[in-house]
Amino acid sequence: MTRFAVLFLCSVLGVACAGGGQTVCPQDPATGMSQCTTTSNSLGDAIAVTGVAAGVYAVTGCTVNGCQLPDRCNTSTKRCEPIRCSESQTCPAGYNCRLDTGLCR
């Protein structure tokens, strides 16, 4: 599955990079130098970038970006999950344990 995901990402990225954009080179008034950038209003480019972002998240999940407290990253599912707590297992500072659910909030 991982090889398929990497192959998919590479193919989407290749299509995105192959798509043409418009190069704009305005001159800097202070230095007179051209400052070129490539722009695109292409729907295909937008779809490709969105596909790459979704693919990267599908492969890495929260293992790269982490989770906001009071959640933690489950490395098996690669999803953010609430931190479990009990009377003996406390929550991070600023959060309380809801004993009825056993979750930090």
Residue-by-residue DSSP string for 62-89: HHHH---TTEEEETTTTEEEEPB--SSS
Asked if pLDDT for residue 37 goes beyond 90, the answer is: no
Q: What is the model's pLDDT at position 41? A: 76
Compute the half-sphere exposure of residue 96: CA atoms within 13 Å on the CB side of its CA.
3
| pTM confidence score | 0.47
Percent of the chain with pLDDT over 70: 79
Sequence-ordered list of residues with C-beta below 8 angstroms from that of 100, at least 6 positions apart, any chain: none
Asked if pLDDT for residue 24 goes beyond 90, the answer is: no
Q: pLDDT grade, residue 104 (50/70/90)?
A: very high
Q: What is the model's pLDDT at position 20? A: 57
Asked whether 60 and 66 are in contact (CB, 8 A), the reply is: no
